[in-house]
Amino acid sequence: DTAVSQTPKYLVTQMGNDKSIKCEQNLGHDTMYWYKQDSKKFLKIMFSYNNKELIINETVPNRFSPKSPDKAHLNLHINSLELGDSAVYFCASSAGAWVGYTFGSGTRLTVV
């Protein structure tokens, strides 16, 4: 059983399109995250939800909108995609940041 699963694994789309990435965790964790990993492999936090409530919202364009229908799911919707949005997006979950995160395997988004 995959602990943190993201879909799709790969996403190629044109500029201006709207796309969504889905994430689900079966670990019973209360907190979920979205991270962006750029071409230099730097991991940058975007959002975090705790039990469906937004608790972290870093400086991210408002074209990015997370949604957490329940504590096991955290989806990311991106409007009006731009070339600079091309990156790998990781979902993660934790029982508390101090015990570490469990990451999904990532979604490679390519905007052309």
Per CB under 8 A, the list member of 14, 39, 41, 83 interacting with another protein is 41
Interacting residues with another protein between 63 and 102 (CB under 8 A): 90, 92, 94, 96-102
Containing 37, the helix (H) or strand (E) segment is: strand 31-37
Region binding another protein by CB under 8 A among candidate stretches 21-29, 38-46, 65-73, 78-86: 38-46
Q: Is residue 33 involved in binding another protein (CB under 8 A)?
A: yes
Alpha-carbon distance values, 58 to 38, 68, 71 (Å): 16, 17, 20
Beta carbon of residue 41, minimum distance to another protein (angstroms, whole number): 5
For 47-86, letters b (16+ CB in 10 Å) and e give bbbbeeeeeeeeebeeebebebeebbbbbbebeebeeebb
The residue ranges that bind another protein (CB under 8 A) are 4, 31, 33, 40-43, 45, 48, 50, 55-56, 90, 92, 94, 96-106
